[in-house]
Amino acid sequence: MGRFEGKTVFITGGARGMGAAHVRGFAAEGAKVVIADLLGAEGEALAREIGAQARFQRLDVTQEAQWAEAAAAAEAAFGPISVLVNNAGVFRTGLLEEMKPADWRLVLEVNLTGVFLGMQAAVPSMRRAGGGAIVNVSSASGLYAQSTVSAYAASKWGVRAVTKTAALELGRYKIRVNSVHPGFVDTPMLPAGSEAYSQNFALPGVVDPDVITRMVLFVASDEACFSTGSEFVADGGLSLAGGRATKK
């Protein structure tokens, strides 16, 4: 049996990139997976690929009412939610003086408010399941300061903070809450030039999403049963020198 046999796993941003890798990883471990995303065609195609143990759910993570509907639909289809992976995210760059307030708001709404609303919506279902695990996907940018990414960094530092607060509050219900901090991952969100820049780090290179999926699977599983409010970093050493080069 897989580590998540018969469990309901809800993954946001699950239609492509890291989210799709997470969906495949949990399904391979026996989970019943809800693929939540705005990308309908890609999400439906992934659900068909996996088969009966997956379903697509259209979800805008910034909308509270849609979260309530999605959580209820997941439980009705597969049973109470045991694992929530808050993976949905957007990326915008720009110097502080030049960034448009609309871009700032978008990044904070998707990357941070979406995580908050997701936990709020999933916790009642998790309590009915007798406990569970929440994995909030932050970033190496949630561990150090970097120019031109003020909105993204603020959102990812915020995810790190709300993860710890939630862990304190939800432990009484046997719900663990942890954050995962990827570095450069080969997805559509990867900035141009990342492969060359990554050669400067302790473990050079841009990794396949499956590398991060393996971390997420561990953090969500009973193998990490005594870990909560913690950061699990998979960034090749990116954050060791504050995002600066570590090799000459």
CA–CA dist 49, 53 (Å, integer): 10
Question: Could you give phi then psi for residue 209, rounded to 5 degrees?
Answer: -55, -30
Residue 22 contacts residue 11 (beta carbons within 8 Å) = yes
CA–CA dist 4, 74 (Å, integer): 16
Residue 181's Cβ-count burial label (10 Å; 0-12, 13-18, 19+) is buried
Residue 119 contacts residue 83 (beta carbons within 8 Å) = no
Residue 137 contacts residue 87 (beta carbons within 8 Å) = yes
Choose the catalytic residue: 144, 152, 173, 197.
Answer: 152
Q: How many residues does the chain have?
A: 248
One-letter identity of residue 207: V
Longest dimension (CA), the chain: 56
Query: Does the annotation mark 144 as catalytic?
Result: no
Question: Could you give phi then psi for residue 70, rounded to 5 degrees?
Answer: -70, -40
CA–CA dist 99, 154 (Å, integer): 13
**Residue for token digits 């999400």?**
43
Q: Just list the catalytic residues.
A: 152
